Amino acid sequence: MTENQTPPRIHVLAKPVGAICNLACAYCFFLDKELLYPGSSFRMTDEILDTYIRQLIEAHRTKEVTVAWQGGEPTLMGVDFYRRAIELQNEHRRPGMTFENTMQTNGTLLDDEWCQFLKENNFLIGISIDGPRELHDAYRVDKGGKPTFDEVMRGLRLLQKHGVEYNILVTLNRINADHPLEVYRFLRDDAGTDWMQFIPVVERINEDGRTLYQEGATVSERSVTPEQFGRFLSATFDEWVRNDVGEMFVQTFEATLRNWMRLPSSGMCVFEPTCGLGLALEHNGDLYSCDHFVEPQYLLGNIQETHIMELVASDQQRAFGQGKLDALPRACRQCDFLFACHGECPKNRFLTTSEGEHGLNYLCEGWKAFFHHVDRPMQMMASLMRKGRPATEVMRILAQGDARLEAALASAGRNDPCPCGSGLKFKHCHGKRGGDGKQRAEAKTSTALDSA
Ligand code: SF4
Ligand code: SF4
């Protein structure tokens, strides 16, 4: 294998405790993965940790290396495991190399000792919160079915007290996806974060009722519906684009803007044309094609037998990565939003198109609705940035358009054409008693952009 057959850097999600977790979130797709390793202790040994860190460093031709820890719940491993991981990074590093350790946690086991360690070693923490108490507790419960909101918020406050860098991960499910503004405003105003990501829950149920394999087209009643997903993203976008551009970082919006600017990468793997550079490492050294494909047929090998670079460059992994592009149905290939979506994640491609072709994404309808909804503000922000002006100017332009529209609505006669440009008479549109708020918000955006 030559150097130029391997990518300059890879991203591996390491799972030192495998699928083991102290909670039992109802929608967690990973808990059933425990069944893949019957009788295992589910603890990464020092030998595997050493092999992993050494090989990960060898697999990088860049100076920056991201070391990502996940689970199950990675804090179950105890803080000393990560102290040792830092030691090994220092031991094996090449001159000038820098490390960013990241960890995705439910936050419930964090204490002062943990947070001191995380701060001292510049960890970036992703903490999972699904919204305010009732929305969070709907599915995020412990093994006894008890709510976890208070424990998670305690963990978040500790991270904040110690100045640990963090972001909040929200899983969008059938319940919280109906409350976009409640979720967004809670995270911004009460939790106090300025960085969040939304991950849709799409949980496929196998014939035996488990979620172990990506099989069939039946989703659980906990899964977000495509329509809910589109509405959630659109409503949070409207709040963001009017108030928070440049202040709040919402991963999907940032990535979408990068796509509208036609930058080489969006920064989100689901929007890339191919896969293959984001792998998952189990506690015993088994390497899988992706965190969402920890299944026997996507097992690439074990890093104690074959070097991680060789596994990443293997025909199997290349075929997995290229498969995302090759398997695109015609509906995607002809879609106006292909440049931004690329058919999204292959794990969600289990619908049949109207032409009878398999492989349409379950979330397609939601993504399309969102992309349509944000097209014009995205075009505007992209254009501002291309001219060297800050994207934040979009907020002023929208506010001016809103004010103009409000004034026009206030002076419109009942039988006049509605100033929003809908083509309807005012009395049948914004002049209607108890007018449609959604229509009004959409009209605001459209009018503001038309007049910009
Ligand atoms: S399979 Fe999905 S999650 Fe995995 S790398 Fe591809 S797009 Fe990302
Ligand atoms: S929006 Fe739908 S049709 Fe278009 S690329 Fe995405 S999944 Fe395919």
Each residue of 213-250: pLDDT tens digit? Answer: 777 888 999 999 999 999 999 999 999 999 999 999 99
- Cβ of residue 331 lying under 6 Å from some atom of ligand 2: yes
Stated pTM of the model: 0.89
Question: Per 3-state DSSP, what percentage of the chain is helix, strand, and coil (rounded to 5)?
Answer: 45, 15, 40
- Cβ of residue 250 lying under 6 Å from some atom of ligand 2: no
Residue nearest to atom 2 of ligand 1 (CA): 345
Residue nearest to atom 5 of ligand 1 (CA): 275
Q: Using pLDDT thresholds of 50, 70 and 90, give the confidence band for residue 434.
A: low
Instruction: Give the span between the Cα atoms of 136 and 152, in whole angstroms.
Output: 10
The position carrying tokens 């809103």 is 402
- Cβ of residue 345 lying under 6 Å from some atom of ligand 2: no
Our answer to whether residue 291 is catalytic in this structure is yes
3-state secondary structure 77-119: HCHHHHHHHHHHHHHHCCCCCEEEEEEEECCCCCCHHHHHHHH
Please, which residues have CB within 8 angstroms of residue 262's CB and are 6 or more apart in sequence? 339
Q: Which residues share a beta bridge with 73?
A: none
Q: Mean pLDDT across the chain, nearest whole number?
A: 91
Contact at 8 Å (CB) between 56 and 68? no
Instruction: Give the span between the Cα atoms of 167 and 105, in whole angstroms.
Output: 11
Instruction: Give the span between the Cα atoms of 32 and 311, in whole angstroms.
Output: 25
What ligand has the least distance to the C-alpha of 328?
Answer: 2
DSSP 149: H
Model confidence at 10: pLDDT above 70: yes
Atom of ligand 2 nearest to the CA of 338: 5
pLDDT value, residue 450: 40
DSSP 418: P
pLDDT value, residue 131: 97
Model confidence at 4: pLDDT above 70: no
Compute how many other C-beta atoms are within 10 angstroms of the C-beta atom of residue 72: 24
Catalytic residue among 137, 238, 244, 291: 291
Residue nearest to atom 4 of ligand 1 (CA): 290
**Phi first, then psi: what are they for 444, rounded to 5°?**
-55, -50
The position carrying tokens 């292959």 is 346
pLDDT value, residue 451: 38
Return the structure tokens found at 299.
């097992």
Shortest CA distance to 192 belongs to which of 112, 247, 265, 271? Answer: 247
- Cβ of residue 369 lying under 6 Å from some atom of ligand 2: no
Give the mean pLDDT of 196-222: 84
Q: Which residues line ligand 1 (CB under 6 A)?
A: 269-270, 275, 278, 290, 292, 324, 345-347
Contact at 8 Å (CB) between 151 and 105? no
Each residue of 269-303: pLDDT tens digit? Answer: 999 999 999 999 999 999 999 999 999 999 999 99
Q: Using pLDDT thresholds of 50, 70 and 90, give the confidence band for residue 24.
A: confident
Q: Using pLDDT thresholds of 50, 70 and 90, give the confidence band for residue 422.
A: confident
The position carrying tokens 């290939």 is 333
**Phi first, then psi: what are they for 198, rounded to 5°?**
-110, 125
